[in-house]
Amino acid sequence: MKLGKLLNFNPINMGALTAILIDDESSSLENLRQKLEEFSDSLKVVATAQKPEEAIMLIRHHRPDVVFLDIEMPRMSGFKVLEEIGKADFEVIFVTAYNHYAIDAIRISAFDYLVKPVVLKELRHTMERLFQETRGKSKERLELLRQSLFDAKTQEHRIAISSTDGIELLQIRDIIRIESHSNYSHIILQSGRTIVVTKLLKDFETMLRGYGFYRVHNSHLINLSFVSKYLRGDGGQAMMQNGDLVEVSRRKKDEFIELISFAGG
């Protein structure tokens, strides 16, 4: 049984998605194409390209639903390819060798990615999200990606949060803290609103690295800009500007005090 059927994806009613694969390495291209054959009932590869210039032409001609795009290519990176295309009315799944910096930026932008060599299990998860989630706002997400990669990190930047309703773009400066609840994370905003997402706290810790956030406890990631007071104790508590009290673990206590002392001048 093809995996598209296992996912209850009905190509008769919805139509198969069309895809273009772009990678300068022929072996990686063939590896991905072979694995995508598992989804042949619900995904059709209409073209492949090894040269960025050819890729741009093929995307403009075929107008695919999704592009699997290698990041590291000679002469023109995958990011540059997207800039050259301009308006991106398709979904992008980046394919890359493991690179913390690039992957952190991709996470902030709520794009999907696959790490080379692509394995079927990870591809299956990516395809499930592609079939099941309502996506959109590609232009805004590309701008977030550009900022994350090339601009100095600042809380004036935004972060893209993926939910069942689609993609929500949040200003980083508006996030007071993020609290873990099992496989969910609660994002507490300055407005008083709380957003619940199916993402682990460690993912947010990675995404917000360098943006003034600190994980004071296994269950709590806080925006240091919103700390108003530290209350002494075994680990102690951080009082946030909205009145929330957040537990500080004993092993994080000294580093946290040092961070807020530095921030306070």
**pLDDT digits 0-9 by tens, 62-87:** 999 999 999 888 888 888 898 888 77
Q: What's the confidence (pLDDT) of residue 111?
A: 82
Q: Is 28 a member of any domain? A: yes
Q: Is the pLDDT of residue 29 over 80?
A: yes
Given a cut of 60, whether residue 10 has pLDDT beyond it is no
- Examine the domain organization and report whether 242 and 111 are in the same domain: no
For residue range 133-190, list pLDDT tens digits in order.
555 567 777 778 877 777 778 888 899 887 666 788 899 999 999 999 988 999 999 9
Domain with residue 178: its CATH number is 2.40.50.1020
- Residue 122 CB: number of other CB atoms within 10 A? 14
Residue 85 shares a structural domain with residue 192: no
Last residue of a domain, one of 103, 132, 147: 147
Are residue 132 and residue 192 in the same domain, yes or no?
A: no
**Does 115 lie in the same domain as 19?**
yes
Question: What does the pLDDT read at residue 139?
Answer: 72
| In a domain? residue 168 | no
Do 250 and 212 fall within a single domain?
Answer: yes
Q: Are 140 and 180 members of one domain?
A: no
Domain identity same for 109 and 185: no
Q: Say whether both 11 and 108 belong to one domain.
A: yes
Model confidence pLDDT, tens digit, residues 180-218: 998 899 999 999 999 999 889 999 998 898 899 999 999
Beta bridge partners of 89: none
- Is residue 27 predicted with pLDDT exceeding 50? yes
In a domain, residue 200? The reply is: yes
Task: Give me the number of domains the chain comprises.
Answer: 2
Distance from C-alpha of 154 to C-alpha of 212, rounded to nearest angstrom: 9
In a domain, 162, yes or no: no
Closest CA to 135 of 103, 105, 172, 168: 168
Is residue 228 over pLDDT 90? yes
Q: Across all residues in the chain, what is the average pLDDT?
A: 85
Give the distance from CA 105 to its chain's centroid: 7
pLDDT at residue 265 is higher than 90: no
The verdict on 194 and 109 lying in the same domain is no
Residue 105 sits in a domain of what CATH number? 3.40.50.2300
Cα Rg of the chain, angstroms? 21
Q: Is residue 206 part of a domain?
A: yes
**Residue tagged 């200003």 (tokens):** 171
Of 260, 251, 192, 195, residue with least CA distance to 222: 260
Q: Is the domain of 143 the same as that of 224?
A: no
Interatomic CA distance for residues 9 and 41, integer angstroms: 9
166 found inside a domain: no
pLDDT score recorded for residue 133:
58
Across 2-16, 26-40, 172-186, which has the greatest mean pLDDT? 172-186
Domain around 89: 3-147
In a domain, 154, yes or no: no
How confident is residue 14, by pLDDT bands cut at 50, 70 and 90?
Answer: very low
Highest mean pLDDT: which range of 19-23, 127-131, 163-167, 202-206? 19-23
The four Cα atoms 26, 27, 33, 35 give a dihedral, to 10 degrees, of -170
Residues 18 and 134 in one domain: yes
Q: Does 29 lie in the same domain as 127?
A: yes
Q: What are the DSSP E strand ranges found in the chain?
A: 17-22, 43-49, 66-70, 91-96, 112-115, 158-163, 166-171, 175-181, 184-189, 194-197, 213-217, 220-223, 227-231, 237-240, 245-247
**pLDDT attached to residue 128:** 81
Residue 156 in domain: no
